[in-house]
Amino acid sequence: MSGFVSFVGSGPGDPELLTLKAVDRLKRADAVLFDDLSSGLILSHARSGADLIGVGKRAGRPSPKQNHVSRLLVEYAQTGQRIVRLKSGDSGLFGRLEEELVAVREAGIAYEIIPGVPSAIAAAAAAGIPLTRRLTSRRVQFVTGHDASGLLPDDIDLNALADPTASTVIFMGKRTFPKLAAELIARGLPPTTPAILAEAVSTPEQALYRMTIAELADRLSAEIGTAPALILYGPLADGD
């Protein structure tokens, strides 16, 4: 007997940013495997009596291995239940979705993918800025700030990231941004390029800090804090 898995993007944290389809799947689920940033009030939409299983991974904290999460997802679905795999933002953006899709496909389990509001979009909205700007920023690029070892990826396209006409959003990049900023400045990106550090976007703890990339590198060299964050820089970040 095989169940059904709904991969649900929960958005950046504000339960009012859940889609109607996401809420429907939560209300119908027998079990919800959720990430840390998809917990709190978002889980209040889950059906009473549903199993709620935290499987979130956070940098610098003890976290379940991805193969364990994938195996757990398959085992729950193989009991014939309806499962929601709840991921923050949109699950297709640096959400380890592919590994879990492979696992359920190989197990012959049916599934669907329900998109969520990406945290990058929510951060730009919170800052009151567009991600694209007519004449000055016609390209947007999303990049992860670290690889599986927690270091700046060695195959990252630094020339693309140093493009002063591109709007850039870095996910999970607080630890590695000082090194990245030095590389970008060495490739010609002005140290005065506007930047935004967006922490805990769309939650009551939300905080937005506007500065230059050089100032942000100095700040993060001294203290990175524990709040989940995005870094935005380029033409989008000056708010004009």
Q: Determine whether 57 is an active site residue.
A: yes
**Which two three-digit tokens encode residue 107?**
């197990």
Pairing of strands 166-171, 229-233: antiparallel
CB 12 within 8 A of CB 88: yes
Residue 21 annotated to the active site? no
- 8-state DSSP, 152: P
Q: Which amino acid is at 5?
A: V
- Assigned token pair, 234: 């380029």
| Among 14, 30, 35, 163, the one annotated catalytic | 35
**Left (φ > 0), alpha (ψ -120 to 50) or beta: where does 237 sit?**
alpha
Set 21, 24, 36, 57: catalytic member:
57
Q: Which residues contact 197 (CB under 8 A, 6 or more apart)?
A: 174, 208, 209, 211, 216, 219, 220, 229, 230, 231
Q: Could you give the residue numbers annotated as active site?
A: 35, 57
